[in-house]
Amino acid sequence: MQIATWNVNSLAVRLPQLLDWLQANPVDALVLQETKLTDDKFPQAEIEAAGYQVSFHGQKTYNGVALLSRGPQEAVVKNIPGFADEQARVIAATVAGVRVIGGYFPNGQAPGSEKFAYKMAWLDALQAWLRQELAAHPQLVLLGDYNIAPEDRDVYDPVAWAGQIHCTDEERTHFRTLLGLGLVDAFRLFEQPPKSWSWWDYRNLAFRKNQGLRIDHILVSAALQPRVSACVIDKLPRKNERPSDHAPVVVTLKD
């Protein structure tokens, strides 16, 4: 079984690439972030024609998430229960016995800003909900665009980025708290090439210079960890002539 995450930065623009990618990578489940589509504009028919069931939760211009799966989805949840939020950032469902939670974590803009405070409140709410989800669903994966680079080795220039958004102590503490709930970073279960990133700024020729951050993550529960056999970042879509700024991340589970 394979489960993947991809911030597509506008599904309207990236739909052809998504369909191409699914043909080459027929994963069992995929969560998308930054679809930037209201639900009435979501390309449900095209995705179903590609052999996937899909749940989605979107809004105009910003954010928006979706969950695609080959098999049926049970107990679909949109956004964090009990956390009033106008921003569409979370979608979850149980797929083939695995609780799949996809998230588009707030960017946070800059430490000290209102958006940073919102990011912290959102992370608090996620953490509280996740405790319950883990108790109810031991086989769980939390994946998406975390907008957090957990360690200095996840940053192309850790000195320049020290204390900057994605790299603050507060964000990294939140990431470690998630691990403390009984989750593990699937990517770090394996030896990986140094300078592995999942996002490169569109500016500054960042991709050509491989100046990026690893901010898209797949965290798996302790009960799921023994099944994890691989976790990779697929840089290929970032080489498209009209790419998203993020690359997909894929985890492989043994049956």
Partner DNA sequence: ATGTCGAGGCCACCTCGA
Cβ proximity to DNA, 102 vs 106, nearer residue: 106
Residues binding DNA (CB under 7 A): 9-10, 12-13, 36, 60-62, 106-107, 109, 115, 202-205, 242
Query: Is 244:9 a contact under the CB 8 Å cutoff?
Result: yes
CB of 76 to DNA, least distance (A): 24
Instruction: Specify whether 255 is catalytic.
Output: no
Instruction: Specify whether 146 is catalytic.
Output: no
Cβ proximity to DNA, 28 vs 216, nearer residue: 216
The residue annotated as part of the active site, out of 57, 174, 217, 246, is 246
Query: Is 197:149 a contact under the CB 8 Å cutoff?
Result: no
Three-state DSSP state, 255:
coil
Cβ proximity to DNA, 133 vs 171, nearer residue: 171
DSSP-derived pairing of the beta strands 216-221 and 65-69: unpaired
CB of 205 to DNA, least distance (A): 4
Query: What does the alpha-carbon distance between residue 62 and residue 82 come to, in Å, rounded to a whole number?
Result: 22
The residue annotated as part of the active site, out of 28, 57, 145, 185, is 145
CB of 123 to DNA, least distance (A): 15
Query: What does the alpha-carbon distance between residue 26 and residue 177 come to, in Å, rounded to a whole number?
Result: 32
Backbone angles phi, psi at 12, to 5 degrees: -60, -40
The residue annotated as part of the active site, out of 28, 52, 57, 104, is 104
Which strands sit side by side in the sheet containing 216-221, from one edge to the other?
73-78, 90-95, 98-104, 140-145, 216-221, 183-185
Cβ proximity to DNA, 58 vs 150, nearer residue: 58
CA angle at 151 for the pair 251 and 100, rounded to the nearest 5°: 30
Q: Which residues are annotated as a binding site for Mg(2+)?
A: 7, 34, 145, 147, 245-246
Which residues are tagged catalytic? 104, 145, 246
